[in-house]
Amino acid sequence: MCDNETRSIVVDNLRDRFEAVSSIGIASVYCNYKEESEQTLVNLLAGLWLQLVQRCDQLSDDVKDLYYKHKDKDTLPKLADVEKVLNTKIGRYERVFIIVDALDECAGSIRMDFLRKVQALQPKANLLVTSRFDDTIAREFESCPRLPIGASTEDVLTYVSSRISGQLAKHTNRDPSLAREIEEAVVTKAQNM
């Protein structure tokens, strides 16, 4: 789901660049393993669709029809309905950017289905996916440009030092070697991510 609290720099940059351009659609999903029960295939696709709808001044007839169909019955739209409206909405834009952040955090049972659904939106939509390394995900993007990224040792040390001097200060002040042990352990673990 797109959580405004956890938007990425990429999403912010796109929204800033194309804020006044109504022919550009931007939608993002931030996958979070803690929200597994809410991150169903229908909800993930509906979240993209909702963001694209919100960017428009007026709701299209297909969106209104879907809303009233389910409002009266107090039901939720089916996957096929959401896909149809999402595809229709994407088709109304000149260009669409879809960002899927932390795909590896998406529940394994729906991860690949979701990925294939958003990949099927290409070439109408430009797709950016971020993920920690995962063989299954990597195979899906073998032919795509990739940019491996990771935290630098200095960044990790700066972060850990700030946490140690704050929350762990009462422990590390008594035993200064504990701070060094924590820093070394975290830096070693971070290199494997």
Residues 50 and 130 in one domain: yes
Q: How far is CA 112 from the centre of its chain?
A: 14
Joined tokens for residue 92: 């109304």
Q: If DSSP codes are grouped into helix, strand and coil, which group holds residue 126?
A: strand
pLDDT for the residue numbered 26? 94
CATH of the domain at 85: 3.40.50.300
Q: Do residues 23 and 94 lie in contact, with contact meaning Cβ atoms separated by under 8 Å?
A: yes
Same domain, 32 and 127: yes
146 is a domain residue: no
Rounded CA separation 152/55 (Å): 37
Q: Are residues 135 and 162 in the same domain?
A: no
Question: So what's the pLDDT on residue 122?
Answer: 92
Answer whether 92's CB lies under 8 Å from 82's CB. no
Distance CA 128, CA 122 (A): 11
Q: Is the dihedral of CA 188, 189, 192, 193 positive or negative?
A: negative
Is 185 part of any domain?
A: yes
So what's the pLDDT on residue 97? Answer: 96
- Residues 35, 126, single domain; the answer is yes
36 lies in a domain?
A: yes
pTM: 0.75
The confidence score (pLDDT) of residue 192 equals: 57
Domain extent for 171: 153-191
Alpha-carbon 117 to chain mean position: 15
89 and 184 assigned to the same domain: no
Pair 178, 104 in one domain? no
Give a yes or no: residue 145 inside a domain.
no
Report if residue 68 sits inside a domain: yes
pLDDT at residue 57, rounded to an integer: 65
Predicted confidence at residue 171, as pLDDT, reads 80
Question: In 7-20, which positions are buried (b, 16+ CB within 10 angstroms) versus exposed (e)?
Answer: eeeebeebeeebee
Q: Which residues of the chain have pLDDT under 50?
A: 1-6
> How does strand 24-30 pair with strand 125-129?
unpaired
- Tell me how many domains the chain contains: 2
Q: What is the pLDDT of residue 41?
A: 93
Is 148 part of a structural domain of the chain?
A: no
Please report whether residue 158 resides in a domain: yes
| pLDDT at res. 3 | 42
Pick from 8, 5, 96: which is nearest to 52 by CA?
Answer: 96
